[in-house]
Structure 1
Amino acid sequence: MLATPGHTGDSVSFVLPAENAVLTGDTILGRGTTVVAHPDGVLADYLDSLARLKARTGSGELTQILPGHGPTVSEADELVSFYLVHRAERLDQVREALAAGAEGADEVVKRVYADVPRAVWPAARLSVLAQLAYLEGPGAR
């Protein structure tokens, strides 16, 4: 078992050493990206979880991701890297939206997720709330 909190506080993954694989549940998906479900999901925890997974995929220990949703991913390190870059880009977009005058999660969602179907906005709002808490947290990032 590998603790991978962030999506939710109790998220875990399971390493299958014989298959060089990790069952990630909702921590990393086979398609799309994971919602950090604020308030139970915490972005700092999620980024730490991704870093732990990156250490193991980058070393070659884990080469496959078996997600809770979507197909098996045979390029584990590439997907974990994508997730890390994606999170950094989203944080930059949230910072830009705030600097441009967005106030609150709903306005940030309208700016940052404008190209995403509106049906996804409630989930995006949870991630934005987690991002805002992260940016306002200790040592403001």
Structure 2
Amino acid sequence: MNAVWETIGTMVRRRRAANPGPMTLDGTNSYVLAAPGARGVVVVDPGPLLEDHLADLAAAGAVELILITHHHGDHTDGSARLHELTGAPVRAALPEFCHGADALYDGELIHAGGLTLEVLATPGHTSDSLCFAVTLGESGGPFANTEAASESVTKADPEAVIFTGDTILGSGSTVICHPGGKLGDYLASLALLRNRGSNAPGRQVAALPGHGPVLDDIAAAARGYEEHRAGRIAEVAHAVELLHKDGIAEPTPAQVAAIVYGDIPENLQGAAQLSVAAQLAYLRR
């Protein structure tokens, strides 16, 4: 192992792809997971088409399944290549992003890597966004005796985790990619994740995001996102009122974003306008 790998507890490893940017933060997180004594491993989000990144994922164990959280290229561009390298099937919500397997569906229970993963449909960021919930043991695990000296090891050893893709990020907020992404769907997805975290018996559920650091408490993270969205909705509604007073009957996302998101960098304005479009559609509903 080398320094690009991070160990999360005893059964999850994360490799961050070298694709940093305004929308990918410090890069896309690819995860490798398995239960104690399992012969195979599962990869969540292969990431971009970067040969060294994919070669490391392929060498991380006997890959038996590759899962996709949503269709964006920074999560899926390497999928076909990792399928070639490992022979493992790739499964996603959309059939066109699957390789050698059927599409995933909400509530499906997947048995792989010695684990049971539950598929959670969490649309909002995109229409096909999924999260994967898995309960992990506290001891043992195929990664417990890896060359830890050359890896970055998190302090947390979570029993229960949810891989959140871009539905909840490790830092910042998620873009609602209108028109496929819908704000009403996204708010429902946040409520689902908050409830899953709040109702976990006797334990805290961690969020393992597609970008950024691990979040120890998915319920708290979801609540924070809900509060942020409520504030943004109020700001958008106020901006619409101001534009109406200026005689603009149907404000455009760009006009609203100039008021609500005027302080963000130019290279993020397009993403801001997508979210504003979703919020305008929500308010008009």
When normalised by structure 1's length, the TM-score is 0.92
Query: SS of the residue aligned with 2:269?
Result: helix
Please report the RMSD computed on the Cα atoms of aligned residues, expressed in angstroms. Answer: 1.2
Q: Which has the higher strand share?
A: 2
Q: Does 1:63 align with 2:181?
A: no
Q: Which range moves more in the overlay, 4-13 or 50-59?
A: 50-59
Q: Structure 1: any 5+ residue segments left out of the alignment?
A: none
- Partner residue, 2:261: 113
Q: Which residue is 2:191 aligned to?
A: 51
Structure 2: which 5+ residue stretches go unaligned?
1-118, 137-158, 245-250
1:13 pairs with one of 112, 131, 155: 131
SS in 2 for 1:101: helix
Partner residue in 1 for 2:274: 126
- Alignment partner of 1:3 is 2:145: no
Runs of 4+ in 1 over 6 A off after TM superposition: none
Structure number with the higher helix fraction is 1
1:31 is displaced (CA, Å) by: 1.1
Aligned-pair identity in percent equals 45
Deviation per CA, 1:70-121: give whole Å up to 9, x if none.
1111132221111000010000000000011162111110000022112111
Aligned with residue 164 of structure 2, among 17, 20, 24: 24
- SS of equivalent residue, structure 2 residue 133: strand
Q: Map Cα deviations across residues 8-67 of structure 1 (whole Å, 9 max, x no partner).
A: 000000001223110000100001110000011011111100010111112245520000
1:72 matched residue in structure 2: 214
Q: Whose radius of gyration is greater, 1 or 2? A: 2
Distance 1:89 1:24 in 2: 22
Query: What residue in structure 1 maps to residue 237 of structure 2?
Result: 95
| Whole-angstrom CA distance in 1 between matches of 2:219 and 2:190 | 11
**Could you tell me how far apart the structure 2 residues matched to 1:116 and 1:57 are?**
31
| Residue 252 (structure 2) aligns with | 104
Normalised by the length of structure 2, the TM-score is: 0.47
Could you tell me how far apart the structure 1 residues matched to 2:135 and 2:123 are? 21
Between the aligned partners of 2:135 and 2:121, the Cα distance in structure 1 is 16
Task: Give the secondary structure class of the aligned counterpart of 1:34.
Answer: coil
SS in 2 for 1:100: helix
Query: 2: distance between equivalents of 1:58 and 1:121?
Result: 34
